[in-house]
Amino acid sequence: MSSANHVYPVIWQSESPDEALNGRVLLIDQTRLPKEYAMVDIHRYEDMAWAIETMIVRGAPAIGVAAAYGMYLGAREIKTRDRTEFLTQLEQVAQRLRATRPTAVNLFWAIDRMLKTAHQTLGPVDYLKQILLETAQNINAEDLKTCRQIGNHGLQVLPSSPQKLRILTHCNAGALATAGYGTALGVVRSAWLGDRLERVYADETRPRLQGAKLTAWECVQEGIPVTVITDNMAAHCMQRGMIDVVVVGADRIAANGDTANKIGTYSVALIARAHNIPFFVAAPLSTIDFAIADGSQIPIEERHSSEIYQVGETMLCPSGVEFYNPAFDVTPANLITAIITEYGAVAPADLKAKLASRQMV
């Protein structure tokens, strides 16, 4: 793969041009990277739910795209031609997909958009299924366009400097976490293409190592200079003047700008504030949940303790200890310089005034 710009983690593939509805979803199996690049075929909505739960596909925007296709796959499996019964069964598909990952709001946004489309579309059930596939494809295409816009807006607000920038990022908010190009890594890509980037510093991001495995892999594909550091090295690197700016993604943003992202992001924000380093969040409008006032209302997913106590088959901890494994933490809005969306960079305090009217399901 010559360029990470060409990494698309969720792909709809028709069996034939004449039978567009009889297709499948191809997912990059992100649990195998960087050791192996492999694709997973998804034909049923239950398989899509499993892929989301097991993080074969991950990253809030990519989860949203995958869930949209999951809704279509579920619709395709419904046999009734009665519209009312079809919509009832489609709601059951939605409930299953909603239960996969509680924090990433793009999941719920995409499911709600698919349901709204189904309820508002007139015509026979077969026609509803066709429209649902088209809607999922539109969500996919829109996210790719959105990521490129985020990258371009991010480039405009990065610190001005005669020297090229050293950017720290946490977890993976790149092409693999979106429909392509990325949010935080989209800003990085735009900086690289604009000849303003010296190097990316990627936190390894314990416990699943998305920074070390995925962000680093994407950068290598595109020839972007990247240095992987352990999570507890960020303060040291900032203290030594090695970092100019931090850019991270988001899984859910509250109306006041409080932001849930991969566990450890809050620590990075605190360290950045202590060293007067700008801290940006890059995310599409669909990640902002205007229905919740602040970060205390964001549900935090807890994952299995095995992510902590073993790597592969290697046990890291003695038997008898207990574990706590939240997948996300919440960074308070007052630590965030700006939130970069497809509509530009917005101060957290201005989110509702400037963007709430644009959000549509």
**Active site amino acids:** 251
The rounded distance, in Å, linking the Cα atoms of 138 and 141 is 5
Helices (H) and strands (E) in the chain, counts: 12, 16
Give the β-pairing of 39-42 and 24-28: antiparallel
| Residues 359 and 351 sit within 8 Å (Cβ to Cβ) | no
The rounded distance, in Å, linking the Cα atoms of 196 and 241 is 17
- Sorted by sequence, the CB contacts under 8 Å of residue 198 that are 6+ apart come out as 163, 164, 165, 166, 225
Say whether the peptide bond before residue 162 is cis (omega within 30 degrees of 0).
Answer: no
* Residue 223, amino acid: G
| Residues 353 and 295 sit within 8 Å (Cβ to Cβ) | no
At 102, list the tokens.
């509680």
The rounded distance, in Å, linking the Cα atoms of 323 and 206 is 14
